[in-house]
Amino acid sequence: MWDNNSRSRTELRSWIKRSLGHGVIDVELTDDQLDDAIRSAEEYWMQWIGATKQVLVTKSSSQAIPESDIGDDVDDVVDVYFEASGDAIGNMYAWADVEYNPMQPAYGTGVSLGEIVQYQQYRKDYQRILSSDKDWHWSRETRELTLSPTSVPSGAVVVVVYRSRNMDYTYMKNYEWNLFREYAQAKAMRRLATIRMKFSDKPSAGGGFSMDGDAMWANAEAMELQIEEKMKEIQGPIGFFVG
C-alpha cells in the first residue's frame, strides 16, 4: 500500500507502466504520452468529483474580494459563510436582519412558551438564510467575489469555499486514489492500443505476428466506463481546509 508521501506523478507514471507489463514486455509509451493520459484522467476526475478548499478572508471596505485574496488556484467559488467580526454571539446573524442567534440554546429552566415559539421561528429564518438566500456572487469575468447585502461590515471574517483547479493526490482517500490511478491506467491503455493498432501486423524471423491493439482498446474502454460509474457515486467534493 502506498503512503501519501509516495503519491506523485512520477510514481504514478511508473505504476502505470508496471501495470501494463513493463519489465516483462515492451510498453511503447513515452513519458510525455503517459503524462497526457494522467492529465486526461485528472480533468475528468476534477469535473465529476473535484477538490474544494476553504480559506478565511477578512473583508476590506470594498464589497468585492479579488481572486488574489482567495487563492491562486480558484476555479469557481461554491459557497461563502459569514461571521460578523467583533459582534456578540447573540448578534452574529445581524447582517441578515436576524436579531436573535438561532444557534443559541433557548430551552432550559424558566423559559417561557413565548420564548420557545420565538426560538422555533428564528430557526426557520436561519434555515432559510443559510440555504436559499443569495448573499454573494462570483464573477467569472472579473474574477471577483461580491458580497451582499452592502451592510456586511469592513473587518468581517468570511469563509470562502472554492473549487480548486489543482489536483493534490495527498488529500485523496485510499479508495479514491486507487480508483483514480486505475482510471489513469485505462487512459494510458487507450493510447497504447492506438499505437499498436497502427502496427497490427509485424514481420519477424519466425514469421509474422499480430499485436493486441484491438483487444486492449476494448478492455480500456470497458475499464473507463466501469470506473466512471464509480466516480459518479462518490462525486461529492473532496474538501480540506487551508489558511
Specify whether 216 is located in the same domain as 131. no
The arithmetic mean of pLDDT across residues 33-59, rounded, is: 87
**Domain assignment of residue 243, yes or no:** no
Phi/psi for 2 (5° steps) reads -85, 145
Specify whether 68 is located in the same domain as 124. yes
| 115 vs 243, higher pLDDT | 115
| 170 vs 61, higher pLDDT | 170
Digit-coded pLDDT (tens) for 152-162: 667 778 888 88
What's residue 240's pLDDT? Answer: 47
What's residue 87's pLDDT? Answer: 44
The arithmetic mean of pLDDT across residues 79-96, rounded, is: 56
What's residue 6's pLDDT? Answer: 74
| 50 vs 65, higher pLDDT | 65
* Cα separation values, 123 from 49, 79, 126, 129, 130, Å: 32, 21, 5, 10, 11
What's residue 150's pLDDT? Answer: 61
- pLDDT tops 80 at residue 103: no
Structural domains in the chain (count): 2
Specify whether 190 is located in the same domain as 174. yes
| 189 vs 134, higher pLDDT | 189
Model confidence at 118, pLDDT cuts 50, 70, 90, reads low
**Domain assignment of residue 154, yes or no:** yes
What's residue 142's pLDDT? Answer: 92
Which of 164, 196, 225 terminates a domain? The answer is 164
What's residue 179's pLDDT? Answer: 94
Which of 131, 164, 197 terminates a domain? The answer is 164
Specify whether 96 is located in the same domain as 156. yes
The arithmetic mean of pLDDT across residues 74-102, rounded, is: 60
Specify whether 205 is located in the same domain as 228. yes
Q: DSSP letters along 201-237, please?
A: EE--TT--EE--HHHHHHHHHHHHHHHHHHHHHT-S-
CA 51 remoteness from chain centre: 2
Give the mean pLDDT of the chain: 76
What's residue 124's pLDDT? Answer: 59
Its domain, for residue 156, covers: 51-164
What's residue 201's pLDDT? Answer: 60
